[in-house]
Every structure is written in C-alpha cells, then in structure tokens.
Structure 1
Amino acid sequence: MRRPSVRLLLALAAALPFAVSAATLKVGDQQLQTRGILEASGQLKDVPYTIEWFNFPAAQPLGEALNAGAIDVGGLGDAPLIFAYAAGAKIRAVSATRSIPLDLAVVVPDHSPIGNAADLKGKRIATTRGSIGHYLAIATLERANLKQTDVTWAFMQPADARAALASGSVDAWSTWDPYVALSEARDHSRSVANGIGLSSGLSFEAATDEAIRDKRAELADFLRRVAAGQRWALDHPDEVAAIQSRVTGLPADVLKTVYQRAQLHPVPIDNALIAEQQHTADLYLRADVIKTHLDVTPSFDKQFSSSAP
C-alpha cells in the first residue's frame, strides 16, 4: 500500500478540530535583514509555530523560490515583485514598508571620471536583472534622457557585481543596501545617482497563494512580529546592527548606516500605494523589461494590513 505523503498527513492533522498546529512557516530573507530585526527586537520569542529561514543574496532568486513554492513568504522590493508577478508567480504582497530611497544608488569607483547620470552614456552597468537596482538604473537613464541602448548591461548577482566593479570590468553598479553602504565604506565607491525622486522606497513581504490559504494564522502572526520589529529598529539601530552583524558577518558600522538612512517603517496597503506600484510597472513596460501591460492590483492582498500593530 502506498504510504500517505507528509503533506497529506499535515493537511489531515490541520483538519482535526482540536489538533495542535504543527505548521512550519518557510521564510525567505535577504542578507538576513528581517531575521536580524526580529532577533534584536525579541520578536522571535514564544513563536507558536516553527520558522524555517532561507537566506538569499538578492530578490530575484527569492522570487523564484516563492514562485516554485519552496518558501511561503519572503521580503522583496517593489520592482522585483512586479518582475515575479509578470512572470506568472502565484504570489501576493501581504504587507508593505517604506524607506528613504537613499538606500538605492548607482555607485562608481572613487577614481572614476563618471560624475553624474549623463556620464553613464557608453558605459557598462552591473545590476541584478529584475531587482530594485535594475529599476533604479532604468529610471536614472530615463531622467537623464538616455536610452537603455546607450549603455551596456551586465546582469549578475551582487557579489559578482561588486567584484566586477573592483576589477574594472564594469564602470558602475546599480544596487541597494547593504551593498551600497558596504561598497562606500569598504571599497571607497561613491554614488552618482540615488533613488530620491525615482523610487517609491516600497518593499513588501509577499506570500504564495497556498500559504495565504493554508497558513493564514501563522502568516498574520509573523507579519505582526515583523512590523513590531521594524518599528522597534527605528530607535535602536545599534542593537539591530550588532545582532545582524553576528548573524551575517557584515560589519556593524555598515549595517548601522543602512538602518539609519533607510528609516524603514511599515505602511498600510491601500489604493494610493497600489497606484505607486502601478507607476513602477509602467516604467518596466516602457523599458521593455516586461512585454505587456500589467495590472498590479491582483498582486496585493489587503486582509493582513490590520495585522501590523
């Protein structure tokens, strides 16, 4: 006789009226930023379910993991959410945060002759395809009246992009924190453009449709803890930086810069926010990154917005 699968057994257990939940919430993180905030703020104490963490270097592979159902929920920026949704990912944003977009920048070596966005013409730009860095580069070129064909794109993950910039195989790197802060502090890079006036500063926790349906209570509780941790972190950058430094190995001074300048805080998912996300999607369409018009409204689920304290 064929043995029942673990998934089936868990489903049957969940259906019993007095069964104790044995749910595991699989959480995707980038550079352990969410986990660092939760640990520092004490929000990982007395969690009534298991959290299994998966760390990713950037939003693109995290979005792919969501799309594959390998994780239930994960944090990613506004542009990567659009990129994943346009690719057919069955995911929806279930909570939102906003930061000051100084945490996005196009950086160049200190000795580079590039002084502003117009100087990027004819240059080679490294970024991660579909990332907020990719979005920033496109928006920066557009504001400088440059076309995408005026530059050469080098799509790669952050570690490879940092090495490429250091070796001179690319002229500029469009990226996000903690990579911006790390490049500035350790590689003596400088910014020639940032996200002010170009980026909404929005980022999201996105969950799979399956997790929203089957792990609603765990997801709501997790999102409450994340929002509480983010609010706590606004006034405790030293503590968050120290904890995350121990977890990630990144320098504490760099991480403190990240938190102080971003001022990351939770915001409700409302119609105005969705309109901002639509603006971002429309830029991707103009840039031919996505091929057809995308209505972003179905990529949001507002039911968890009241979960934030």
Structure 2
Amino acid sequence: MSINDISHRFKLSRLGLWRGFQRRSIKAFALLFSLGLSLSFAIAACSPTPETANSTPAQTLRIGYQKSSTALNLLKSKGDLEKRLAPQNVSVEWNEFAAGPQMLEALNVGSIDFAYTGETPPVFAQAAGAPLVYVAYEPLGGAAEAILVRKDSPIQRVADLKGKKVALNRGSNVHYLLVRALESAGLQYSDIEPAFLPPGDARPAFEQGSVDAWVIWDPFQAAAETAMGARILVDGQGLVENRGFFLTTQNFSQQQPQLLQTLLEELQTVSEWAKNNPQNVARFLEAELGIALPALELAEKRRGYGVLPLSDEVVAGQQKIADTFLSLGLIPQPIAVKSAVAKP
C-alpha cells in the first residue's frame, strides 16, 4: 500500500469520526434542550400566576369532628360553610377523630381551631392546662347514652355491677354517667373494674363477653340494641344532662370572632334542618357510619339538637362534673369552668 493510499484512508477515517462526533453532539444538545424546556415548563406550572395567586386561600379554618357528631358531619357534607367563606378567602379543613379526648389534644397542640365533644373531655383537658374555650352547647339529652348489658346477662340492676368489668371510653361523656349511676345505686367508682376502650374496640369486647357491661352513646348505643339485642341497664335520664360542647382556643376566639360567629351560624342552620328531618339524617348517617338504618332512626328519636349559648346553669353543670372527678382523683387539680367560657 502506497503512502498516498494510507493518507487517503486516514482522511476518510478522520472525516467519519468528525461526522460521528457531530451526530452525537446534536443528539446531546437536543436532549439537554428538551430537559431544559421541560424544567422550564415545570417551574412555570408551579409558579403562581396573578390569577392563581389571588385565589389561594389566605386562611384555613381547621375543624375537628367525629362521624357521630351529626351537626358537624352534616355541615361538612353540605358544603354551605365553604360557600359562605369563599368570598372571604377562607378555606375549610376537616379533621376526623375517633373521640373527644383525642380531638381536644389536637386542639391543645394547635392542630385544629374548632372542636365538638361531650361533657367530660373539656374537663379533663382544662385540668391538663389546655387553653380551650367553650363557645356553645348542644342539648343531646340523657336518653342518648346508657349502660348496656347483653340480653342474656344476669345483671339486672346497676348494683349488680359491683366487681364487674365495665367498658367505656376514658374521659368521654359516658365517664360521668357511669360515676353518677354507681352513686345512685349506692356503689363507688372503685367497686367496678373499668376497661378503657374506644367504641371500635369496646363493641367486640362486649359481644364476646370480655367485659360485663358497656357505657356508650348513640348511635353506637342504638346499634348494639338493634343488632345484638343489648339491654339498657340504665340510661342518662334523671342522672346526667348529656350536653355536647363546641370549643375553640383562647387565641382563636380573640383573634377570629367573626369567623367563629359565621361557623356557629351555619351550625345552627344545619342543626335546625336536622331537627326537622330525622329520617333524612338517618339515611345520611347510614352511608357515613355504616350503621343500619333502624339503629340510626332509633338514635334520632331520642336526641336533641341546637347551638345554644352557655347559661349559668350549663356552666354550673360542668363545674359539678369537674368537682366530682377531682374528688375521685380522676383529674389532678381543681378547675374553674367559668374561666374557660368565651366572653360574648
């Protein structure tokens, strides 16, 4: 092979390498350009436009509720509160809890702004130093909570509970019912063995006989009556008032009085609707709670509705609960319920 042939082949080889380099460079540039363009689109999508910036809620109202807290559950479903607050640039966040004590713990740590519980959770929370404030109450009524026994139980009266294991949700409204029922039968709280269980755990324990009695509220009470024939040993009538309470924090009540008032007005509206439409409420709760319609219809017949201001009588009733729990060693220090009532 001549020198000219070698030189010619070298030129061709070098030309091929250059063209390959050109092709690879173009592909790399195209890839980098594509990635850069995608990144630009992503950044643009995440960056608020003037329209979206203006529509972003300036404030969020965080509400705690239980599925069994009917008024709040209905308000959540209807969406009327969201519609009313939208022009004020306020959104609503709903947070579900298993029971009142857990909800008030969330209120205490600042996870929610508004809560609804039975009578006793606020007493325990205030005794623990929570900065809660009572803003209104709901007159549920004594028939909406009871001490249940199985239909074949030999227990016939409250006095028969002596030495027996009784399930209840610690710190809930039925805690006070149990204390009052035992007192009325000449027993002390120490005469029974409390088994602190939330409703979801108490029901199977009750059915299987792991506990002798169950202190519970509607609609779980009505579900046990209709589904398994549970028998009411005693309900709260004549023993307790069984009120529900709407609560917030001291800071929220002072800083957002108008927002709080709007919420209470919407709750009153939905409560009036529920009071006048028990069958519709029962059908709504059937889907929400997974409880059979007959149980919910029974529960609706014996409960009260309303969003009422706290009177001296209501405050005195809460104080009596607090004093009773203090005497039993259930709370660590005395409290003045009046100091936790929102100023009108």
Q: Which one has the largest radius of gyration? A: 2
- TM-score (normalised: structure 1): 0.86
Aligned: 1:35 with 2:72: yes
Structure 1 residue runs of 4 or more that deviate by more than 3 Å after TM superposition = 18-21, 39-45
For structure 2, the residue ranges without an aligned partner over 5 or more in a row are: 1-53
Q: Secondary structure at the match of 1:262?
A: coil
Please tell me the root mean square deviation across aligned C-alpha atoms, in Å.
Answer: 2.0
Mapped to 1, the partners of 2:79 and 2:62 lie a distance apart of 19
* Greater relative contact order (Cα < 8 A, sep 6+): 1
- After superposition, the Cα gap between the structure-2 partners of 1:45 and 1:210, relative to the gap in structure 1 and judged at 3 Å, is closer
For 1:138 and 1:202, how far apart are their aligned partners in 2?
A: 16
Does the CA-based 8 Å contact 1:99-1:263 persist in structure 2? yes
Show the counterpart of 2:155.
114
**Structure 1 Cα separation of the partners of residues 115 and 189 of structure 2:** 30
Determine the structure 2 residue equivalent to 1:57.
98
Q: Which moved more, 1:39-48 or 1:187-196?
A: 39-48
- Indicate which of 314, 318, 330 corresponds to 1:273: 314
Identity %: 33
Question: Equivalents in 1 of 2:256, 2:292: separation in Å?
Answer: 35
Equivalent in the alignment of 2:60: 24
User: What are the superposed Cα offsets for residues 17-74 of structure 1, whole Å, 9 maximum, x if unpaired?
Assistant: x999622111111125233332577744623132211111211111111111111111
User: Structure 1 residue 217: deviation in Å?
Assistant: 2.2
Of the candidates 174, 188, 197, which is equivalent to residue 147 of structure 1? 188
What's the CA shift string for 1:88-141, capped at 9, x where partnerless?
111111111112211110011111011111111110001111111111111111
Q: 1:47 and 1:248, CA in 2 relative to 1: closer, same or farther beyond 3 A?
A: farther
Q: Which moved more, 1:168-177 or 1:248-257?
A: 248-257
Distance in 2 (CA, whole Å) between partners of 1:287 and 1:261 is 30
Using the alignment, how far apart are the partners of 2:250 and 2:165 within structure 1? 38
Correspondence 1:184 to 2:225: yes
Number of the residue aligned with 2:17: none
For the residue of structure 2 that corresponds to 1:47, the secondary structure is helix
What is the alpha-carbon distance in structure 1 between the residues aligned to residue 82 and residue 300 of structure 2? 23
- How do 1:199-278 residues align onto structure 2 when only pairs under 5 Å count? 199-278=240-319
From the superposition, tell whether residues 302 and 233 of structure 1 become closer, same or farther in structure 2 (CA, over 3 Å).
farther
Distance 1:254 1:45 in 2: 31
| TM norm structure 2 | 0.78
